[in-house]
Structure 1
Amino acid sequence: MEIKEVHSFDIYTEPEFIEVQNTLQEQIVLKNSFNKDNINLVAGVDLAYWEEGNKQYGTCCIVVIDYNTKEVVEKVNSVGEIKVPYIPGFLAFRELPLVIEASKKLVVEPDIFIFDGNGYLHFNHMGIATHASFFLNKPTIGVAKSYLKINGVDFNTPENEEGSYTDIIINGEVYGRTLRTRKDVKPIFVSCGNNVDLETSIEIVLNLVNNESRVPIPTRLADLETHRMRTVYKDGKLVK
Protein backbone atom coordinates (compact mmCIF):
# COMPACT_ATOMS: atom_id res chain seq x y z
CA MET A 1 0.00 0.00 0.00
CA GLU A 2 1.33 3.42 -0.94
CA ILE A 3 1.84 5.90 1.89
CA LYS A 4 1.86 9.66 1.54
CA GLU A 5 4.79 11.32 3.34
CA VAL A 6 3.00 14.24 4.97
CA HIS A 7 5.69 15.33 7.40
CA SER A 8 8.85 14.15 9.10
CA PHE A 9 8.87 12.55 12.53
CA ASP A 10 12.15 14.19 13.48
CA ILE A 11 10.26 16.50 15.82
CA TYR A 12 10.16 16.05 19.57
CA THR A 13 8.74 19.14 21.28
CA GLU A 14 5.16 20.10 22.08
CA PRO A 15 5.30 23.39 20.13
CA GLU A 16 6.39 21.42 17.05
CA PHE A 17 3.61 18.88 17.61
CA ILE A 18 1.00 21.62 17.89
CA GLU A 19 2.25 23.36 14.76
CA VAL A 20 1.82 20.15 12.75
CA GLN A 21 -1.63 19.52 14.22
CA ASN A 22 -2.78 23.04 13.44
CA THR A 23 -1.63 22.73 9.84
CA LEU A 24 -3.36 19.39 9.28
CA GLN A 25 -6.51 20.39 11.16
CA GLU A 26 -7.38 22.81 8.39
CA GLN A 27 -7.56 19.88 5.97
CA ILE A 28 -10.01 17.69 7.92
CA VAL A 29 -13.14 16.77 5.95
CA LEU A 30 -16.11 15.40 7.90
CA LYS A 31 -17.89 14.13 4.81
CA ASN A 32 -17.78 10.77 3.07
CA SER A 33 -15.19 10.52 0.32
CA PHE A 34 -16.60 7.12 -0.65
CA ASN A 35 -19.84 5.31 -1.39
CA LYS A 36 -20.71 3.44 1.79
CA ASP A 37 -22.51 0.81 -0.27
CA ASN A 38 -19.20 -0.11 -1.89
CA ILE A 39 -17.17 -0.84 1.25
CA ASN A 40 -15.37 -4.17 0.84
CA LEU A 41 -12.31 -4.18 3.11
CA VAL A 42 -11.93 -2.62 6.56
CA ALA A 43 -8.68 -2.50 8.53
CA GLY A 44 -8.31 -2.42 12.30
CA VAL A 45 -5.19 -0.85 13.82
CA ASP A 46 -3.74 -1.25 17.32
CA LEU A 47 -0.39 -1.16 19.12
CA ALA A 48 1.20 -2.82 22.14
CA TYR A 49 4.33 -1.86 24.10
CA TRP A 50 7.01 -3.44 26.24
CA GLU A 51 10.37 -2.54 27.73
CA GLU A 52 13.78 -4.13 27.30
CA GLY A 53 16.51 -2.66 29.41
CA ASN A 54 16.04 1.08 29.43
CA LYS A 55 14.33 1.19 26.05
CA GLN A 56 10.69 0.91 25.08
CA TYR A 57 9.50 -0.99 22.03
CA GLY A 58 6.19 -1.34 20.28
CA THR A 59 4.45 -3.45 17.71
CA CYS A 60 1.68 -2.25 15.43
CA CYS A 61 -0.73 -4.81 14.04
CA ILE A 62 -3.21 -4.23 11.24
CA VAL A 63 -5.93 -6.77 10.55
CA VAL A 64 -8.02 -6.41 7.39
CA ILE A 65 -11.40 -8.09 7.17
CA ASP A 66 -14.08 -8.45 4.53
CA TYR A 67 -16.80 -5.96 5.48
CA ASN A 68 -19.59 -8.33 4.45
CA THR A 69 -18.38 -11.79 5.46
CA LYS A 70 -16.26 -10.58 8.42
CA GLU A 71 -13.52 -13.00 7.35
CA VAL A 72 -9.86 -12.04 7.85
CA VAL A 73 -8.20 -11.11 4.57
CA GLU A 74 -4.73 -10.03 5.68
CA LYS A 75 -2.58 -9.40 8.75
CA VAL A 76 0.60 -7.33 8.91
CA ASN A 77 2.73 -5.94 11.69
CA SER A 78 5.73 -3.76 12.40
CA VAL A 79 8.08 -3.49 15.34
CA GLY A 80 10.53 -0.88 16.56
CA GLU A 81 11.83 1.30 19.33
CA ILE A 82 9.48 3.98 20.65
CA LYS A 83 11.38 7.24 20.74
CA VAL A 84 8.66 9.73 21.66
CA PRO A 85 7.41 9.69 25.28
CA TYR A 86 3.72 9.51 26.03
CA ILE A 87 2.29 13.03 26.10
CA PRO A 88 -1.51 13.38 26.32
CA GLY A 89 -2.87 14.77 23.07
CA PHE A 90 0.15 13.83 20.98
CA LEU A 91 -0.18 10.05 20.74
CA ALA A 92 0.09 10.09 16.94
CA PHE A 93 3.70 11.28 17.01
CA ARG A 94 4.54 8.29 19.19
CA GLU A 95 2.65 5.62 17.28
CA LEU A 96 2.40 6.70 13.65
CA PRO A 97 5.91 5.63 12.59
CA LEU A 98 4.99 2.01 13.39
CA VAL A 99 1.52 2.39 11.86
CA ILE A 100 3.10 3.64 8.65
CA GLU A 101 5.64 0.81 8.51
CA ALA A 102 2.93 -1.80 9.01
CA SER A 103 0.68 -0.17 6.41
CA LYS A 104 3.43 -0.31 3.80
CA LYS A 105 3.37 -4.11 4.08
CA LEU A 106 -0.29 -4.41 3.12
CA VAL A 107 -0.90 -6.23 -0.15
CA VAL A 108 -4.62 -5.45 -0.18
CA GLU A 109 -5.88 -1.88 -0.01
CA PRO A 110 -8.50 -1.29 2.69
CA ASP A 111 -11.39 1.03 1.94
CA ILE A 112 -11.36 2.40 5.48
CA PHE A 113 -9.21 2.16 8.62
CA ILE A 114 -10.54 1.94 12.18
CA PHE A 115 -8.18 2.88 15.00
CA ASP A 116 -8.21 1.87 18.64
CA GLY A 117 -8.13 5.52 19.68
CA ASN A 118 -9.68 8.89 19.00
CA GLY A 119 -10.06 10.96 15.88
CA TYR A 120 -11.99 14.24 15.94
CA LEU A 121 -12.63 13.66 19.66
CA HIS A 122 -9.42 15.43 20.63
CA PHE A 123 -8.58 18.85 22.02
CA ASN A 124 -7.22 19.87 18.60
CA HIS A 125 -9.39 17.46 16.54
CA MET A 126 -6.21 15.55 15.75
CA GLY A 127 -6.41 12.17 17.43
CA ILE A 128 -4.40 9.36 15.89
CA ALA A 129 -7.23 8.26 13.59
CA THR A 130 -7.43 11.72 12.06
CA HIS A 131 -3.68 12.27 11.91
CA ALA A 132 -3.08 8.88 10.28
CA SER A 133 -5.58 9.55 7.52
CA PHE A 134 -3.26 12.05 5.86
CA PHE A 135 -0.52 9.43 5.53
CA LEU A 136 -2.83 6.57 4.56
CA ASN A 137 -4.88 8.72 2.18
CA LYS A 138 -7.93 6.72 3.28
CA PRO A 139 -11.05 7.43 5.36
CA THR A 140 -10.52 6.70 9.05
CA ILE A 141 -12.63 6.24 12.18
CA GLY A 142 -11.59 6.49 15.81
CA VAL A 143 -13.05 4.05 18.34
CA ALA A 144 -11.89 4.46 21.93
CA LYS A 145 -12.76 2.26 24.89
CA SER A 146 -12.12 5.03 27.43
CA TYR A 147 -13.24 8.65 27.39
CA LEU A 148 -10.91 11.56 26.70
CA LYS A 149 -12.29 14.48 28.71
CA ILE A 150 -11.84 17.80 26.92
CA ASN A 151 -12.34 21.18 28.60
CA GLY A 152 -13.86 19.42 31.59
CA VAL A 153 -16.83 18.15 29.56
CA ASP A 154 -18.06 14.69 30.51
CA PHE A 155 -20.19 12.37 28.40
CA ASN A 156 -23.84 11.44 28.88
CA THR A 157 -24.47 7.73 29.19
CA PRO A 158 -26.74 6.37 26.43
CA GLU A 159 -29.72 4.15 27.15
CA ASN A 160 -29.03 0.48 27.76
CA GLU A 161 -30.07 -0.58 24.28
CA GLU A 162 -28.05 -1.72 21.27
CA GLY A 163 -27.31 1.20 18.98
CA SER A 164 -28.29 3.93 21.44
CA TYR A 165 -25.96 6.92 21.63
CA THR A 166 -25.47 10.43 22.94
CA ASP A 167 -23.57 13.20 21.22
CA ILE A 168 -20.41 14.53 22.82
CA ILE A 169 -20.83 18.30 22.52
CA ILE A 170 -18.01 20.64 23.50
CA ASN A 171 -18.30 24.38 23.05
CA GLY A 172 -21.38 23.85 20.92
CA GLU A 173 -19.66 21.43 18.52
CA VAL A 174 -20.20 17.69 18.18
CA TYR A 175 -16.84 15.99 18.72
CA GLY A 176 -18.10 12.42 18.59
CA ARG A 177 -20.62 10.03 20.09
CA THR A 178 -20.89 7.76 23.09
CA LEU A 179 -22.24 4.54 21.57
CA ARG A 180 -23.77 1.46 23.17
CA THR A 181 -22.95 -1.29 20.71
CA ARG A 182 -24.73 -4.03 22.69
CA LYS A 183 -27.11 -4.17 25.60
CA ASP A 184 -25.53 -4.55 29.05
CA VAL A 185 -22.01 -3.57 27.93
CA LYS A 186 -20.06 -0.40 28.53
CA PRO A 187 -20.33 2.21 25.78
CA ILE A 188 -17.49 3.09 23.42
CA PHE A 189 -16.51 6.49 22.04
CA VAL A 190 -16.71 6.94 18.29
CA SER A 191 -15.43 9.91 16.34
CA CYS A 192 -14.70 10.67 12.73
CA GLY A 193 -11.13 10.36 11.66
CA ASN A 194 -11.21 12.02 8.28
CA ASN A 195 -13.17 11.84 5.02
CA VAL A 196 -16.18 10.25 6.73
CA ASP A 197 -19.21 11.66 8.49
CA LEU A 198 -20.35 10.71 11.98
CA GLU A 199 -23.55 8.96 10.91
CA THR A 200 -21.62 6.68 8.56
CA SER A 201 -18.96 6.07 11.21
CA ILE A 202 -21.63 4.85 13.63
CA GLU A 203 -23.24 2.69 10.93
CA ILE A 204 -19.93 1.05 10.04
CA VAL A 205 -19.00 0.40 13.67
CA LEU A 206 -22.37 -1.18 14.48
CA ASN A 207 -22.11 -3.40 11.41
CA LEU A 208 -18.75 -4.69 12.64
CA VAL A 209 -19.71 -5.58 16.21
CA ASN A 210 -20.61 -9.14 17.14
CA ASN A 211 -21.43 -10.96 20.38
CA GLU A 212 -17.77 -11.47 21.25
CA SER A 213 -16.93 -7.84 22.02
CA ARG A 214 -18.32 -4.31 22.34
CA VAL A 215 -15.69 -3.01 19.90
CA PRO A 216 -15.55 -3.55 16.13
CA ILE A 217 -14.16 -6.86 14.90
CA PRO A 218 -11.12 -5.35 13.09
CA THR A 219 -9.78 -3.48 16.13
CA ARG A 220 -10.55 -6.38 18.46
CA LEU A 221 -8.58 -8.72 16.21
CA ALA A 222 -5.78 -6.17 15.91
CA ASP A 223 -5.65 -5.93 19.70
CA LEU A 224 -5.38 -9.72 20.04
CA GLU A 225 -2.69 -9.76 17.37
CA THR A 226 -0.61 -7.11 19.17
CA HIS A 227 -0.55 -9.22 22.30
CA ARG A 228 0.50 -12.27 20.30
CA MET A 229 3.21 -10.43 18.40
CA ARG A 230 4.51 -8.73 21.52
CA THR A 231 5.11 -12.17 23.01
CA VAL A 232 6.77 -13.35 19.78
CA TYR A 233 9.11 -10.37 19.64
CA LYS A 234 9.95 -10.43 23.33
CA ASP A 235 10.59 -14.16 23.50
CA GLY A 236 12.39 -14.19 20.17
CA LYS A 237 14.60 -11.24 21.14
CA LEU A 238 14.04 -9.83 17.68
CA VAL A 239 14.69 -6.28 18.86
CA LYS A 240 17.66 -4.93 20.73
Structure 2
Amino acid sequence: MNNDKIIDLLEKFKSEQKALLPKVQLKNNFQKENIRFIAGVDVAYFDMQGKTKGVCCIVVFDLIEKQVIEKVHSHGEIRVPYIPGFLAFREMPLIKDAVKKLTKQVDIYMFDGNGYLHYRHMGIATQASFLLGKPTIGVAKSYLKINGVDFTMPQNKENAHTDIIINNEIYGRVLRTRVNVKPIFISCGNWIDLDTTTEIVMKLIDKSSRLPIPVRFADIETHAIRKKLLIKE
Protein backbone atom coordinates (compact mmCIF):
# COMPACT_ATOMS: atom_id res chain seq x y z
CA MET A 1 0.00 0.00 0.00
CA ASN A 2 1.47 3.35 -1.03
CA ASN A 3 1.87 6.36 1.26
CA ASP A 4 -1.10 8.25 -0.15
CA LYS A 5 -3.45 5.37 0.59
CA ILE A 6 -2.05 5.00 4.11
CA ILE A 7 -2.56 8.72 4.74
CA ASP A 8 -6.15 8.41 3.51
CA LEU A 9 -6.68 5.45 5.84
CA LEU A 10 -5.23 7.39 8.77
CA GLU A 11 -7.66 10.25 8.24
CA LYS A 12 -10.58 7.85 7.86
CA PHE A 13 -9.64 5.89 10.98
CA LYS A 14 -9.08 9.05 13.04
CA SER A 15 -12.47 10.37 11.99
CA GLU A 16 -14.21 7.14 13.00
CA GLN A 17 -12.49 7.04 16.37
CA LYS A 18 -13.31 10.68 17.01
CA ALA A 19 -16.99 10.00 16.29
CA LEU A 20 -17.07 7.07 18.75
CA LEU A 21 -15.29 8.78 21.64
CA PRO A 22 -18.30 10.77 22.96
CA LYS A 23 -20.16 7.46 23.31
CA VAL A 24 -17.56 5.98 25.67
CA GLN A 25 -18.78 5.75 29.27
CA LEU A 26 -16.30 4.95 32.03
CA LYS A 27 -18.96 3.74 34.42
CA ASN A 28 -20.67 0.43 35.06
CA ASN A 29 -23.81 -0.34 33.10
CA PHE A 30 -24.32 -3.58 35.05
CA GLN A 31 -24.73 -4.98 38.54
CA LYS A 32 -21.46 -6.56 39.67
CA GLU A 33 -23.23 -9.49 41.31
CA ASN A 34 -24.66 -10.47 37.89
CA ILE A 35 -21.26 -10.84 36.24
CA ARG A 36 -20.39 -14.49 35.58
CA PHE A 37 -19.00 -15.16 32.10
CA ILE A 38 -15.79 -13.32 31.18
CA ALA A 39 -14.29 -13.75 27.71
CA GLY A 40 -10.61 -13.29 26.92
CA VAL A 41 -9.80 -12.13 23.37
CA ASP A 42 -6.45 -12.31 21.61
CA VAL A 43 -5.19 -12.07 18.03
CA ALA A 44 -1.91 -13.46 16.67
CA TYR A 45 -0.36 -13.02 13.23
CA PHE A 46 1.59 -15.20 10.84
CA ASP A 47 2.71 -15.28 7.21
CA MET A 48 1.36 -17.95 4.88
CA GLN A 49 1.71 -18.22 1.11
CA GLY A 50 3.10 -14.69 0.91
CA LYS A 51 0.17 -13.16 2.79
CA THR A 52 -0.29 -11.88 6.33
CA LYS A 53 -2.82 -13.99 8.19
CA GLY A 54 -4.31 -13.69 11.65
CA VAL A 55 -6.05 -15.92 14.15
CA CYS A 56 -8.43 -14.66 16.83
CA CYS A 57 -9.25 -16.82 19.83
CA ILE A 58 -11.93 -16.18 22.43
CA VAL A 59 -11.93 -18.14 25.69
CA VAL A 60 -14.93 -17.87 28.02
CA PHE A 61 -14.33 -18.36 31.75
CA ASP A 62 -17.05 -19.04 34.34
CA LEU A 63 -16.37 -16.97 37.46
CA ILE A 64 -18.62 -19.16 39.61
CA GLU A 65 -17.48 -22.59 38.44
CA LYS A 66 -13.88 -21.38 38.04
CA GLN A 67 -13.37 -23.09 34.71
CA VAL A 68 -13.17 -22.47 30.96
CA ILE A 69 -16.52 -23.29 29.40
CA GLU A 70 -16.03 -22.36 25.75
CA LYS A 71 -13.31 -21.73 23.17
CA VAL A 72 -13.82 -20.43 19.65
CA HIS A 73 -11.52 -19.07 16.99
CA SER A 74 -11.45 -17.54 13.54
CA HIS A 75 -8.66 -17.01 11.07
CA GLY A 76 -8.13 -15.30 7.76
CA GLU A 77 -6.14 -12.83 5.73
CA ILE A 78 -5.31 -9.47 7.30
CA ARG A 79 -6.28 -6.76 4.83
CA VAL A 80 -5.52 -3.65 6.89
CA PRO A 81 -1.85 -2.67 7.25
CA TYR A 82 -0.28 -2.27 10.69
CA ILE A 83 -0.61 1.36 11.73
CA PRO A 84 0.26 2.21 15.36
CA GLY A 85 -2.80 3.40 17.25
CA PHE A 86 -5.29 1.80 14.86
CA LEU A 87 -5.04 -1.87 15.81
CA ALA A 88 -8.81 -2.27 16.10
CA PHE A 89 -9.36 -1.75 12.37
CA ARG A 90 -6.85 -4.52 11.65
CA GLU A 91 -8.31 -7.04 14.11
CA MET A 92 -12.03 -6.31 14.16
CA PRO A 93 -13.04 -8.55 11.23
CA LEU A 94 -11.47 -11.62 12.89
CA ILE A 95 -12.99 -10.73 16.26
CA LYS A 96 -16.41 -10.35 14.66
CA ASP A 97 -16.15 -13.76 13.00
CA ALA A 98 -15.06 -15.44 16.24
CA VAL A 99 -17.83 -13.83 18.30
CA LYS A 100 -20.43 -15.24 15.89
CA LYS A 101 -19.35 -18.75 16.92
CA LEU A 102 -19.96 -18.25 20.63
CA THR A 103 -22.91 -20.09 22.15
CA LYS A 104 -22.53 -18.59 25.63
CA GLN A 105 -23.80 -15.09 26.41
CA VAL A 106 -20.71 -13.21 27.59
CA ASP A 107 -21.01 -10.57 30.33
CA ILE A 108 -17.64 -8.84 29.89
CA TYR A 109 -14.95 -9.06 27.20
CA MET A 110 -11.32 -8.73 28.24
CA PHE A 111 -8.72 -7.93 25.58
CA ASP A 112 -5.00 -8.57 25.34
CA GLY A 113 -4.35 -4.90 24.62
CA ASN A 114 -5.36 -1.42 25.68
CA GLY A 115 -8.67 0.35 26.03
CA TYR A 116 -8.90 3.96 27.26
CA LEU A 117 -5.10 3.90 27.68
CA HIS A 118 -4.55 5.03 24.10
CA TYR A 119 -3.54 8.15 22.17
CA ARG A 120 -7.19 8.90 21.37
CA HIS A 121 -8.78 6.75 24.14
CA MET A 122 -9.70 4.24 21.46
CA GLY A 123 -7.64 1.09 22.01
CA ILE A 124 -8.90 -2.27 20.82
CA ALA A 125 -10.91 -2.90 24.00
CA THR A 126 -12.75 0.40 23.73
CA GLN A 127 -13.37 0.37 20.00
CA ALA A 128 -14.49 -3.28 19.97
CA SER A 129 -17.09 -2.55 22.66
CA PHE A 130 -19.33 -0.96 20.04
CA LEU A 131 -19.21 -4.12 17.95
CA LEU A 132 -19.85 -6.37 20.96
CA GLY A 133 -22.39 -4.26 22.80
CA LYS A 134 -20.85 -5.37 26.10
CA PRO A 135 -18.56 -3.89 28.77
CA THR A 136 -14.89 -4.34 27.92
CA ILE A 137 -11.51 -4.27 29.66
CA GLY A 138 -8.01 -3.74 28.28
CA VAL A 139 -5.12 -5.76 29.75
CA ALA A 140 -1.66 -5.02 28.34
CA LYS A 141 1.64 -6.69 29.18
CA SER A 142 3.71 -3.66 28.17
CA TYR A 143 3.29 0.07 28.63
CA LEU A 144 2.06 2.35 25.87
CA LYS A 145 3.84 5.66 26.53
CA ILE A 146 1.67 8.61 25.60
CA ASN A 147 2.97 12.19 25.39
CA GLY A 148 6.25 11.07 26.94
CA VAL A 149 4.59 10.27 30.29
CA ASP A 150 6.11 7.40 32.28
CA PHE A 151 4.24 5.32 34.82
CA THR A 152 4.91 5.04 38.56
CA MET A 153 5.83 1.54 39.65
CA PRO A 154 3.42 0.18 42.29
CA GLN A 155 4.61 -1.42 45.54
CA ASN A 156 5.74 -5.02 45.45
CA LYS A 157 2.58 -6.49 46.91
CA GLU A 158 -0.56 -8.09 45.53
CA ASN A 159 -3.16 -5.64 44.21
CA ALA A 160 -0.82 -2.66 44.59
CA HIS A 161 -1.52 -0.13 41.85
CA THR A 162 -0.83 3.37 40.62
CA ASP A 163 -2.92 5.39 38.23
CA ILE A 164 -1.61 6.50 34.86
CA ILE A 165 -2.32 10.22 34.69
CA ILE A 166 -1.73 12.14 31.46
CA ASN A 167 -2.75 15.79 31.07
CA ASN A 168 -4.55 15.59 34.44
CA GLU A 169 -6.72 12.71 33.22
CA ILE A 170 -6.63 9.09 34.38
CA TYR A 171 -5.96 6.90 31.35
CA GLY A 172 -5.49 3.58 33.12
CA ARG A 173 -3.75 1.80 35.95
CA VAL A 174 -0.50 -0.04 36.63
CA LEU A 175 -1.48 -3.15 38.59
CA ARG A 176 0.75 -5.60 40.47
CA THR A 177 -1.30 -8.78 40.41
CA ARG A 178 1.23 -10.94 42.27
CA VAL A 179 4.27 -10.35 44.47
CA ASN A 180 7.66 -10.36 42.71
CA VAL A 181 6.23 -10.21 39.19
CA LYS A 182 6.08 -7.38 36.67
CA PRO A 183 2.91 -5.29 36.77
CA ILE A 184 0.33 -5.23 34.00
CA PHE A 185 -1.37 -2.19 32.49
CA ILE A 186 -5.12 -2.17 32.68
CA SER A 187 -7.69 0.27 31.39
CA CYS A 188 -11.41 0.54 30.98
CA GLY A 189 -12.73 -0.36 27.60
CA ASN A 190 -16.28 0.90 27.82
CA TRP A 191 -19.28 0.78 30.16
CA ILE A 192 -17.15 -0.05 33.19
CA ASP A 193 -15.21 2.00 35.74
CA LEU A 194 -11.55 1.62 36.68
CA ASP A 195 -12.09 0.29 40.20
CA THR A 196 -14.45 -2.41 38.93
CA THR A 197 -11.97 -3.19 36.17
CA THR A 198 -9.27 -3.71 38.80
CA GLU A 199 -11.56 -5.83 40.97
CA ILE A 200 -12.53 -8.14 38.11
CA VAL A 201 -8.95 -8.54 36.90
CA MET A 202 -7.81 -9.50 40.40
CA LYS A 203 -10.59 -12.08 40.70
CA LEU A 204 -9.14 -13.78 37.63
CA ILE A 205 -5.53 -14.05 38.79
CA ASP A 206 -4.14 -17.41 39.91
CA LYS A 207 -0.67 -18.61 40.85
CA SER A 208 0.23 -19.51 37.27
CA SER A 209 0.55 -16.02 35.79
CA ARG A 210 0.41 -12.28 36.35
CA LEU A 211 -2.29 -12.15 33.65
CA PRO A 212 -6.00 -12.78 34.25
CA ILE A 213 -7.04 -16.30 33.27
CA PRO A 214 -9.22 -15.49 30.20
CA VAL A 215 -6.54 -13.35 28.57
CA ARG A 216 -3.78 -15.83 29.35
CA PHE A 217 -5.77 -18.76 27.97
CA ALA A 218 -6.75 -16.80 24.85
CA ASP A 219 -3.07 -16.03 24.25
CA ILE A 220 -2.14 -19.72 24.66
CA GLU A 221 -4.95 -20.75 22.33
CA THR A 222 -3.96 -18.31 19.56
CA HIS A 223 -0.41 -19.68 19.54
CA ALA A 224 -1.69 -23.26 19.45
CA ILE A 225 -4.09 -22.59 16.56
CA ARG A 226 -1.45 -20.61 14.67
CA LYS A 227 0.97 -23.53 14.99
CA LYS A 228 -1.63 -25.95 13.60
CA LEU A 229 -2.37 -23.66 10.66
CA LEU A 230 1.32 -23.30 9.84
CA ILE A 231 1.78 -27.08 9.91
CA LYS A 232 -1.03 -27.44 7.36
CA GLU A 233 0.68 -25.02 4.98
Q: TM-score, normalised by structure 1?
A: 0.93
Amino acid at match of 1:134: F
Matched residues, number: 227
Aligned to 1:5: none
Aligned to 1:231: 227
1:76 aligns with 2:72: yes
Aligned to 2:199: 203
Amino acid at match of 1:207: K
Alignment partner for residue 47 of structure 1, among 31, 43, 46?
43
Decide which moves more: 69-78 or 197-206.
69-78
Indicate the SS of the match to 1:13: helix
Amino acid at match of 1:127: G
Whether contact under 8 Å (1:12, 1:84) holds in the other structure is no
1:213 aligns with 2:209: yes
Q: Give the CA deviation at 1:69.
A: 2.5
Amino acid at match of 1:233: L
Q: CA separation in 1, counterparts of 2:203 and 2:65?
A: 11
State percent identity of aligned pairs. 59
- Aligned CA distance change for structure 1 residues 12 and 44 (closer, same or farther; 3 Å): farther
Indicate the SS of the match to 2:215: helix
1:57 aligns with 2:39: no
Q: Give the CA deviation at 1:235.
A: 1.4
Aligned to 1:113: 109
Q: What aligned pairs does 1:27-42 form with structure 2 within 5 A after superposition?
A: 27-42=23-38
Structure 1: runs of 5+ lacking an equivalent: 1-10
Q: CA separation in 2, counterparts of 1:74 and 1:109?
A: 11
1:22 aligns with 2:13: no
Indicate the SS of the match to 1:58: strand
1:125 aligns with 2:121: yes
Alignment partner for residue 142 of structure 1, among 119, 138, 144?
138
Q: What is the Cα-based RMSD across aligned positions, in Å? A: 1.1
Q: CA separation in 2, counterparts of 1:63 and 1:72?
A: 7
Amino acid at match of 2:229: Y
Q: TM-score, normalised by structure 2?
A: 0.96
Whether contact under 8 Å (1:63, 1:76) holds in the other structure is yes
Q: Which has the higher helix share?
A: 2
Q: CA separation in 1, counterparts of 2:8 and 2:215?
A: 28
Indicate the SS of the match to 1:203: helix
Amino acid at match of 2:87: L
Aligned to 2:3: none
Q: CA separation in 2, counterparts of 1:36 and 1:236?
A: 44
